[in-house]
């Protein structure tokens, strides 16, 4: 990454917004994008994730079924023309439930990842920039929270305070910002001794402006890779909660709840209650991991080529 940032005209740096639109002024991002789209697995990952977003949020508009009223006369019926993936033990269409369950999983994954990035990058940037005793104290806090098995705490809080999309996103976000914080701190430590940061400081930038305009946009590649893994972890964690029976409260549910409901019928051979939900979880999580891996490789190229 060395050497490019100082050569940019200062006016452009000043105009660079929060980080999302820097692509147009740094050729490195275009390079990374090209590398990313050449990676076949990455394209598969993006396509899968896109498919599931459409499946969950647009699907219910096309595939209209009644998800509220039980109908015991058709309970646990196998896949047929009227119910493409059969019905559950209350006669509700499984495909429709999968769409609705996926909404919760994707929303929680997305919100908690956003929260993790915002908290993590600010915390890491402040810790790295301030340095000294404050830095050690802030990082020991991260050490403490990292050594606590977070699934346990998420379960305890979910049991005590109830689980909704918002509360689960908050709890998961509150425990997943730790790794981004460490990564961003590491990145800031190497960035803050660079000339362009010194130049910005001499030009009179305050700490906030330094973090916001100069450090975070440059640490963005580390953050973006981590986000995709965070989304995957959050979707898995929600599935665990749902499977153990401490997930979202009815009428909200996610894929884990559906799967857990299906396990009662494992011996009856009602496969459509278990495996479709399982496949949804695996494919979504795998898509996020594939995108993350490919992004890491692509951004690595960006760093290498410079």
Binding residues for other proteins, rule: CB under 8 A, are: 140-141, 143-145, 147-153, 155-157, 159-160, 232, 236, 239-240, 243-246, 256, 259-260, 263, 266-267, 274, 278, 281-283, 285-286, 289-290
Give the torsion sign (CA, 129, 9, 26, 15).
Answer: positive
Q: How far is the CB of 148 from other proteins (least distance, A)?
A: 4
Distance CA 242, CA 270 (A): 19
Q: How far is the CB of 203 from other proteins (least distance, A)?
A: 38
Nearer to other proteins by Cβ, of 156 and 303: the residue is: 156
Distance CA 261, CA 97 (A): 12
Q: Closest Cα partner for 257 from 110, 58, 75, 89?
A: 89
Q: How far is the CB of 190 from other proteins (least distance, A)?
A: 22
Tokens of 202: 């001499």
Distance CA 245, CA 248 (A): 9
Q: How far is the CB of 140 from other proteins (least distance, A)?
A: 6
Q: How far is the CB of 269 from other proteins (least distance, A)?
A: 9
Secondary structure of residue 149 in the 3-state scheme: coil
Q: How far is the CB of 251 from other proteins (least distance, A)?
A: 22
Nearer to other proteins by Cβ, of 50 and 137: the residue is: 137
Cα angle 139, 141, 142; round to 5: 65
Nearer to other proteins by Cβ, of 107 and 233: the residue is: 233
Q: How far is the CB of 150 from other proteins (least distance, A)?
A: 8
Nearer to other proteins by Cβ, of 75 and 266: the residue is: 266
The structure tokens 């981590």 sit at 226
- DSSP-assigned letters across all residues of 203-245: TT--HHHIIIIIIHHHHHHHHHHHHHHHHHHHHHHHHHHHHHT
Nearer to other proteins by Cβ, of 79 and 278: the residue is: 278
Contacts of 306 (CB under 8 A, 6+ apart): 1, 2, 3, 4, 28
166 burial type by CB count under 10 A (0-12 exposed, 13-18 middle, 19+ buried): exposed
Q: Closest Cα partner for 107 from 231, 256, 283?
A: 231
Nearer to other proteins by Cβ, of 28 and 86: the residue is: 86
Q: How far is the CB of 272 from other proteins (least distance, A)?
A: 13
Nearer to other proteins by Cβ, of 220 and 246: the residue is: 246
Nearer to other proteins by Cβ, of 126 and 290: the residue is: 290
Output the CA–CA distances (angstroms, integers) from residue 298 to 37, 206, 276, 284, 304, in the order listed.
9, 33, 32, 21, 10
């Amino acid at each position: 990454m060395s050497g490019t940032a100082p050569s940019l005209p200062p006016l452009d740096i000043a105009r660079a917004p929060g980080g999302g639109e820097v692509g147009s002024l740094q050729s490195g991002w275009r390079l990374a994008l090209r590398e990313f789209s050449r990676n076949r697995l990455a394209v598969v990952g993006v396509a899968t994730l896109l498919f599931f977003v459409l499946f969950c949020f647009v699907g219910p508009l096309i595939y209209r079924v009644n998800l509220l009223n039980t109908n015991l006369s058709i309970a646990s019926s196998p896949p047929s023309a009227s119910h493409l993936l059969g019905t559950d033990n209350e006669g509700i269409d499984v495909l429709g439930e999968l769409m609705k369950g996926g909404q919760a999983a994707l929303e929680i994954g997305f919100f908690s990842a956003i929260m993790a990035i915002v908290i993590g990058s600010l915390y890491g940037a402040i810790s790295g920039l301030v340095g000294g005793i404050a830095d050690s104290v802030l990082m020991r806090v991260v050490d403490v929270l990292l050594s606590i098995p977070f699934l346990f705490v998420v379960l305890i809080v979910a049991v005590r305070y109830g689980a909704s999309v918002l509360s689960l996103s908050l709890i998961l976000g509150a425990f997943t910002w730790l790794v981004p914080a460490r990564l961003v701190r590491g990145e800031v430590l190497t960035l803050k001794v660079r000339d362009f940061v010194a130049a910005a400081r001499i030009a009179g930038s305050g700490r906030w402006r330094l973090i916001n305009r100069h450090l975070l946009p440059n640490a963005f590649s580390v953050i973006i890779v981590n986000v995709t893994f965070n989304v995957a972890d959050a979707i898995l964690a929600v599935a665990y909660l749902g499977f153990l029976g401490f997930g979202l409260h009815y009428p909200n549910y996610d894929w884990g709840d559906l799967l857990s409901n299906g396990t009662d019928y494992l011996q009856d051979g009602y496969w459509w209650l278990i495996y479709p939900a399982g496949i949804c979880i695996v494919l979504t999580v795998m898509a996020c991991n594939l995108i993350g891996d490919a992004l890491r490789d692509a951004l690595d190229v960006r760093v290498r080529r410079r």
